[in-house]
């Protein structure tokens, strides 16, 4: 079998990277599989992980037969993300093995566990929906604004000062890392 191993650490726990890699290599070697891709990410779980995307591309092109990870939380950013990516791998007929949780989605037991995880993911989404609705309802009762706070507004003074110097709106937006629409809105006030 052609295997890709995926190791990820956040910047806080970089010491576990060698541990993850060693455990996955031993696991793959004990089964006489071949590691064709070894990927490491050093990022928090919520940020974009291009190296993980590389593995998904390899799976879509049928260049790997399975992905091995040390723990599920190293692969998924959230329960919903985990379920979606595992579902895609299943549909592509690419196996997924998590060493710590002893999950192998190539087996009937592993697929049953993935099904249970998807139920919990749906439950988590529904709870979040209910909380959002309750928060909006409470804000309306108080007569308050229930929109997301405008973070670009903190740059209003700077936007006006820089615009007075003749700097184009697009350049102001780039410098302050805000949208051009936000710049235009602040200058119209």
First to last CA, the chain: 63
Three-class secondary structure of residue 142 per DSSP: coil
pLDDT of residue 31: 94
pLDDT(189) > 60: yes
User: Is 98 assigned a catalytic role?
Assistant: no
pLDDT of residue 118: 67
Q: With bands split at pLDDT 50, 70 and 90, how would you rate the model's confidence at 121?
A: low
DSSP string, 98-118: ETTTTEETTSHHHHHHHHHHH
Check 10, 78, 90, 118 and give the catalytic one.
10
CB distance 98 to 91 below 8 Å: no
CB distance 135 to 145 below 8 Å: no
For residues 111 and 95, what is the distance between their CA atoms, to the nearest angstrom? 10
Q: For 3-59, what is each residue's pLDDT tens digit?
A: 999 998 876 556 788 889 999 999 999 999 999 999 988 765 555 678 888 999 999
Name the token pair of 34.
């071949």
Q: For 60-71, what is each residue's pLDDT tens digit?
A: 999 999 999 998
Q: Give the mean pLDDT of the chain.
A: 84
Q: Is 66 exposed, middle or buried (0-12, 13-18, 19+ CB in 10 A)?
A: buried
For the question of whether the overall pTM of this predicted structure is more than 0.85, the answer is: no
pLDDT of residue 64: 96
């Amino acid at each position: 079998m052609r295997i890709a191993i995926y190791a990820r650490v956040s910047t806080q726990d970089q010491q576990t990277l060698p541990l993850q890699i060693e455990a996955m290599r031993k696991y793959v070697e004990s089964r006489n599989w071949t590691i064709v891709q070894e990927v490491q990410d050093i990022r928090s779980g919520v940020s974009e992980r291009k190296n993980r995307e590389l593995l998904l591309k390899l799976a879509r092109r049928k260049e790997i037969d399975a992905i091995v990870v040390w723990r599920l939380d190293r692969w998924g950013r959230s329960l919903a993300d985990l379920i979606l990516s595992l579902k895609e791998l299943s549909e592509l007929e690419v196996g997924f093995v998590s060493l710590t949780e002893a999950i192998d989605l190539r087996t009937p037991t592993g697929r049953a566990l993935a099904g249970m995880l998807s139920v919990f993911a749906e439950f988590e989404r529904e709870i979040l929906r209910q909380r959002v609705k309750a928060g909006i309802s409470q804000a309306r009762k108080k007569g308050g604004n229930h929109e997301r706070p405008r973070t670009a507004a903190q740059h209003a003074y700077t936007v006006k000062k820089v615009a007075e110097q003749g700097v184009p709106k697009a350049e102001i937006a780039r410098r302050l890392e805000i949208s051009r629409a936000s710049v235009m809105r602040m200058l119209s006030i």
